């Protein structure tokens, strides 16, 4: 696919994704026949590109969402036709390609999912809400306080060598903070519900913070985490 076709393709996919949000019915999606020509859509960014500034600039979001996230979607869709993964949902591709050790499929699919989850982990400063009573209680019990949980999440992100992700997860009904390398994602694990994540690939912060990863993780975890969505995920966790 040449550059122009790819751009048109992504724009079409983005419009389709935005449209599909209205009246989306997950149950129907699960039972619908799987068309071999299914394409993986780029979800719409849940906030304006400039709404996380000055902690994350519009320029960073523009490249991160517009080039990196979009690029993973384009790369995966270019590989799917004729492959054993054609027709699968994104989650099915991630699980199957991980089991097959099919790195090009897994890396692109997992990065699509991780980035969508990252955008959903963030909210403009002051609008991410607070943990629900249930999540707040278990956060305090596990980490001492919400603030300390945020600090430990940043610390986990800082310690990740090279590229990867830091996660707040429910694992076996306990809250834990972990990090994953490169495209690895907790989605493939049983008994795990991710609540929040922080992207610690350099493209997530280099335009704004250069090599100061700790400044980025501190600002994001203190000011931009979407505790409202984390609380929703906590309530819906698999137990
Ligand atoms: Mn990224």
What tens digit of pLDDT does each residue of 164-196 get? 999 999 999 999 999 999 999 999 888 899 999
Predicted pLDDT at 22: 36
Q: Which residues surround ligand 1, an ion (CB under 5 A)?
A: 199, 201, 204
CA of 202 to the centre of ligand 1 (A): 8
What tens digit of pLDDT does each residue of 37-70 get? 889 999 999 999 999 999 999 999 999 999 999 9
If one compares 89 and 188, the residue with the highest pLDDT of the two is 89
More confident residue, 52 or 239: 52
CA of 33 to the centre of ligand 1 (A): 32
User: Cα(232)–Cα(217) distance, rounded to whole angstroms?
Assistant: 23
pLDDT at 232: 97
SS3 89: coil
CA distance 169 to 176: 5
User: What's the CA-to-centroid distance between 16 and ligand 1, angstroms?
Assistant: 23
Question: Mean pLDDT across the stretch 136-148?
Answer: 97
At 238, the pLDDT band (50, 70, 90 cuts) reads confident
Neighbours of 25 (CB within 10 A): 10
Q: Is 104 left (phi over 0), alpha (psi -120 to 50) or beta?
A: alpha
Contact 208, 53 (CB under 8 A): no
């Amino acid at each position: 696919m040449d550059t122009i076709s790819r751009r048109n393709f992504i724009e079409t996919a983005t419009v389709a994704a935005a449209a599909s949000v209205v009246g989306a019915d997950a149950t129907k999606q699960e039972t619908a026949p799987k068309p071999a020509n299914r394409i993986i859509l780029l979800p719409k960014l849940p906030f304006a590109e400039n709404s996380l500034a000055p902690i994350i600039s519009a320029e960073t979001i523009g490249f991160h969402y517009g080039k990196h996230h979009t690029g993973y979607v384009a790369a995966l869709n270019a590989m799917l036709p004729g492959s054993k993964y054609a027709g699968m949902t994104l989650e099915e591709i991630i699980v199957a390609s991980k089991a097959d050790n099919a790195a090009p499929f897994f890396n692109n699919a997992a990065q699509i999912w991780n980035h969508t989850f990252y955008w959903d982990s963030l909210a403009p400063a002051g609008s991410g809400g607070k943990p629900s009573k249930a999540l707040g209680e278990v956060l305090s019990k596990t980490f001492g306080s919400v603030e300390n949980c945020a600090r430990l999440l940043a610390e986990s992100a800082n310690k990740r060598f090279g590229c990867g992700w830091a996660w707040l997860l429910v694992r076996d009904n306990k809250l834990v903070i972990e990090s994953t390398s490169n495209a690895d994602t907790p989605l493939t694990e049983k008994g795990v519900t991710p609540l929040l994540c922080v992207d610690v690939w350099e493209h997530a912060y280099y335009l704004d913070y250069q090599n100061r990863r700790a400044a980025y993780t501190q600002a994001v975890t203190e000011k931009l985490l979407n505790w409202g969505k984390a609380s929703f995920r906590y309530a819906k966790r698999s137990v």
